[in-house]
Amino acid sequence: MTPPGLHGGHRVNLARVVPLAEEPEGYLEGAPLCPMCLCLTDSAWISPDYRVVNRHDSVYTEGAALVVSERFVEVVGGEAGCRFVPLPADDGYHRLLVDHVLEVDRTIGELELAGEPCPTCGRQSTYGDPAAFVGIDSAPRGFFRTDVEYGGIPRGRRSAQRSYIVVDDELGRRLRDLRLCQIRPLQR
C-alpha cells in the first residue's frame, strides 16, 4: 500500500491517517486559546459540549481534533500508542489521542515556516509533509503522531494546528479496508 520510504536510515512503511470528513465550526467554543493569535494552546483539549455533526467514522473538528466513532474504537482500541476519550456531550464519539511521537527529520523533505512566531505562545504557521523520521531502528507498530504540528494561523480567527497521525502499513490497510478513514502514504 505505502511505497517504502527512508525513515531514520531504514526502509519502513508508514502511512498518514486522514479522516473521512471535516466538521463545521463550533468545537473551539470555550477552548484555551492564545490571547494574541487565537490558536488553540492545548492540543489534547476536549470540548465539553461538542456534538459531532458529520456522523462518519472519523472526522477532524475545527480545532484539529481527530474524533472517531464507537465502531472505530471497537476495531482498533487495543492498538499501541493511542487512547480514546469519550466526548462528554456525544456518547457515540471519542477523541483519539496519540501518545507515541515520531520526531520529524527537519533536514530532509519539505518543512516551511511562514510568517513570524506568535510573540505570546510561539506558534508559527507550518506547512509541509514529513519525509523522514529520526531514530527509527525498525518498522514501528500502532499509532504515532509527528512532533511537528502543521497548519496556518490566520490572523483574527480561531484556529489550531495538528500533528499528523501516522500508522504502520498493516494497521493502515485494516483501517482503509474497513473504511474507517483514508490512508495516505507519507512518501511520494
The residue ranges of every structural domain in the chain are: 5-185
Quote the pTM value.
0.83
User: Between vectors from CA 45 to CA 151 and to CA 55, what angle results, nearest 5°?
Assistant: 80
**pLDDT tens, residue by residue, 157-184:** 888 888 889 998 899 999 999 999 999 8
> 30-67 b/e with 16+ CB inside 10 Å = b?
ebebbeebbbbbeeebbbeebbbeeebbbbbbbbbbbb
pLDDT tens figures, 40-97: 888 888 999 999 999 999 999 887 889 999 999 999 988 999 999 999 999 999 999 9
